[in-house]
Each structure stands twice: as C-alpha cells, then as structure tokens.
C-alpha cells in the first residue's frame, strides 16, 4: 500500500494525537513521567502502527498492524477515562477524544474487513 498518508484513518489518528497532547497539558506536572507519558506513547502508537502496516508487503501484515493500532486505541480510551476517575480532568474535556477513538475503531474494523 505505502500511501498511508492518503488513508482517512491515519489522518484521523493524527488528529487524535494532537488533541491528546493538548489534553495532557491540563494534567499536573507530577503526572509528567507517569500517566501523561503513557498516554502520549499510546496515542502516537495508533498512527504509527497504521503507517507501518501500510508499508508492509501483504494485506495480512497490514491487518496485523491495524489490530495493534486498534488495541492502542482501546488502551488510550481506558487511560483517558482514568484521568476523569482520578479527578485530573472533567468528563466534558475528554469527550472529543473518546468520540475520535470510537470513530477510529469503526474505521479500523472496516479497513481490516476490506483487506480480507
């Protein structure tokens, strides 16, 4: 495939990273090396795995990396929900990110199905 930059799912996941980084600015400095670091790595993993999979030589390999990206999306949702449970941010501040996660997971499933 190799044209990962043309994939709508890749573009959406890049948008997700940007919004996640903006949200992380709201978290306290003491979380910088804990939850903030984990959330940032997790969010970056999503478009990175989509790009890596698109650069592979087969649809099966691409599907494998899409599966990893999907796992990272679910992991990100969990960590973002934790920020609310820990009273670090308000629930309304995370809704846009959660909506993007849902949209990306739906796109991911559809793309995986199309590769079968």
Count other C-beta atoms under 10 Å from residue 18's C-beta. 10
Q: What are the tens digits of pLDDT across the range 48-94?
A: 999 999 999 899 999 999 999 999 999 999 999 999 999 999 999 99
Q: Are 4 and 51 in contact (CB under 8 A)?
A: yes
Please tell me the pTM assigned to this model: 0.94
CA distance 78 to 85: 10
Our count of domains for the chain comes to 1
List the CATH number of the domain containing 12.
Answer: 1.20.1440.60
Range of the domain at 28: 4-114
List of residues 6+ apart from 49 with CB closer than 8 A: 65, 66, 68, 69, 72
34 CB neighbour count, 10 Å cutoff: 10
- Which has the closest alpha carbon to 22: 99, 96, 107, 103? 96
């Amino acid at each position: 495939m190799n044209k990962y930059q043309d994939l709508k799912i890749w573009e959406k996941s890049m948008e997700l990273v940007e919004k996640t980084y903006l949200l992380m600015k709201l978290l306290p400095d003491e979380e910088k090396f804990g939850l903030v670091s984990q959330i940032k790595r997790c969010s970056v993993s999503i478009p990175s795995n989509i790009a890596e999979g698109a650069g592979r030589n087969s649809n099966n390999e691409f599907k494998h990396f899409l599966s990893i990206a999907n796992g990272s999306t679910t992991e990100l949702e969990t960590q973002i929900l934790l920020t609310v449970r820990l009273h670090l941010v308000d629930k309304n501040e995370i809704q846009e990110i959660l909506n993007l996660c849902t949209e990306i997971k739906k796109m991911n499933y559809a793309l995986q199905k199309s590769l079968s």
